[in-house]
Amino acid sequence: MSSTFDNVVTDPTEQYNLITKGLQETLNGQIIKDILEKEKRHVKIYWGTAPTGKPHCGYFVPMIKLAHFLKAGCEVTVLLADLHAYLDNMKAPLEVVQHRSKYYELVVKAILRSIGVPIEKLKFVVGSSYQQGGDYVLDLFKLSNIVSQNDAKRAGADVVKQVANPLLSGLIYPLMQAIDEQHLDCDAQFGGVDQRKIFVLAEENLPSIGYKKRAHLMNPMIPGLGQGGKMSASDPNSKIDIIEDPKVVKKKINSAYCAPGEVKDNGLIAFIEYVVQPIQELKAGQDGVFDFKIDRPEKYGGPITYTSLDALKADYESGALAPPDLKSGTADRINELLAPIRAEFESNAEFQAAQKNGYPAAEAKQEKKVKKPKNKGTRYPGGAAAAAAAAPADANGAVEKTAEALETVKLD
């Protein structure tokens, strides 16, 4: 499979087309063209990921782009943004974030290997290795002196977790992501379209502190398994973990939102379009390759194979392809993609330790507190009034006490 990478693309036009293939948006693409055509050197691109929740199948999408960058001869850096993870409303405690960073690194490598992408030229950098002092912190001070609170908040609105009482860390996060472009010495930053506001903040403000403007490459966001919303690492119902058990995969896909005839915002069709087909094209080294088999029961027409994504969409929209069959085919393809990654995880002790230490099992719930008996008053059976009425009349002072108790009841 790695044979498709034996000959790196060298023509500037082909390189640019490969770098921007499948993107939703490119900002300042001319910067990349000038590097390829005039400076005649490799484009330096960085992609950052904050190690918070466990990586999911949506990570295939950026991995496909990393493959395109490498095929185009780019120098690619993967930033494991551990401090960003901590700043994002403490999604990842500092005590475990290093383990999560290692887990993310191993996941990225495993995904790329599973789709035949050589990783020898891929560079991994942990954010805390350069973000805690020196020129970096001084740059953070400089940027914080020209970016308003509102601009910083707006920049991180689609990325940083939004809470009722926002923390200052959420304002620092986008500033650091902008500064990373300089300290990672890149020509372009790559990310999802949800990063757009941070990218624009970087373009507008880095020149003010003496740094050049970079290009920005944005992937589309894949819908999750529920109705609306993107596939999210923090929402277990919207995603499938990268080492998910095959039976769990089928269960999640079977319960996924998949309205009959609805192609737009259909998470399963989006996965086929942005993951399954691009990987097939990558492995074949040819655009337009598509092979999607569905093991459909005979009573519903028998097995079917699609060699065109458009044909699959058309059949689903018309009702010729039913949701249960689409779910069955998608679950099978996902399990095929995850099988080599799961196998690597199960045979790699370091991989397993990183997962265990980065995502420790939830602590057992505390014992329930013993409920205090409620004060039911004196009118219930066995209360003061009943006790008084049942008291023996011949006991010393019993008659007086009974009368007092009854009088108390009347006053209540």
Joined together, the tokens standing for residue 302 give 């028998």
| 108-130 pLDDT tens trace | 999 999 999 999 889 999 999 99
Top CATH class of 2-219 equals alpha beta
Q: What is the mean pLDDT of residues 67-96?
A: 88
Q: How far apart are CA 57 and CA 61, in angstroms?
A: 8
Residue 365: pLDDT over 80: no
| 374-398 pLDDT tens trace | 555 555 555 555 444 444 444 444 4
Residue 91: pLDDT over 80: no
Q: How far apart are CA 230 and CA 58, in angstroms?
A: 9
What pLDDT is stored for residue 83 in this prediction?
Answer: 92
Angle at alpha carbon of residue 61, lines to 170 and 46, rounded to 5°: 55
Top CATH class of 246-358 equals mainly alpha
Confidence band, pLDDT 50/70/90 cuts, at residue 8? confident
Of 25, 1, 3, 5, the closest CA to residue 72 belongs to 5
Residue 162: pLDDT over 70: no
Where are any strands of DSSP class E within 254-303? 292-294
What pLDDT is stored for residue 7 in this prediction?
Answer: 76
Label the pairing between strands 75-80 and 122-126: parallel
Joined together, the tokens standing for residue 242 give 């990268």
Confidence band, pLDDT 50/70/90 cuts, at residue 373? low
What pLDDT is stored for residue 393 in this prediction?
Answer: 44
What pLDDT is stored for residue 411 in this prediction?
Answer: 37
Residue 56: pLDDT over 80: yes
Q: Which residue would you say has higher pLDDT here, 211 or 405? A: 211
> Where along the chain do the CATH 1.10.240.10 domains lie?
246-358
Helix axes 94-114 and 349-358, enclosed angle (nearest 10)? 140
Count of CB atoms within 10 A of residue 18's CB?
21
Residue 402: pLDDT over 50: no
Confidence band, pLDDT 50/70/90 cuts, at residue 317? very high
Contacts of 172 (CB under 8 A, 6+ apart): 87, 140, 144, 152
Residue 6: pLDDT over 80: no
pTM for the predicted model, two decimal places:
0.83
Q: What is the mean pLDDT of residues 343-349?
A: 97
Q: How far apart are CA 67 and CA 1, in angstroms?
A: 12
> Where along the chain do the CATH 3.40.50.620 domains lie?
2-219
Q: How far apart are CA 89 and CA 369, in angstroms?
A: 30
| 176-190 pLDDT tens trace | 999 999 999 999 999
Residue 244: pLDDT over 80: yes
Q: Which of 36-40, 138-142, 300-304, 363-367 has the lowest mean pLDDT?
A: 363-367
Instruction: Please answer whether residues 267 and 259 qualify as being in contact, where contact means their C-beta atoms are separated by less than 8 angstroms.
Output: no
**How much is the mean pLDDT over the chain?**
86
Instruction: Please answer whether residues 223 and 229 qualify as being in contact, where contact means their C-beta atoms are separated by less than 8 angstroms.
Output: yes
Q: What is the mean pLDDT of residues 294-305?
A: 92
Q: How far apart are CA 152 and CA 176, in angstroms?
A: 11
| 216-229 pLDDT tens trace | 999 998 888 876 65
Count of CB atoms within 10 A of residue 389's CB?
11
Q: How far apart are CA 199 and CA 181, in angstroms?
A: 10
Kindly write down the DSSP assignment for every residue of 61-128, as one continuous string.
Answer: HHHHHHHHHHHTT-EEEEEE-HHHHHHTTTSS-HHHHHHHHHHHHHHHHHHHHHTT---TTEEEEEGG
SS3 301: coil
Q: What is the mean pLDDT of residues 277-302?
A: 93
What pLDDT is stored for residue 401 in this prediction?
Answer: 44
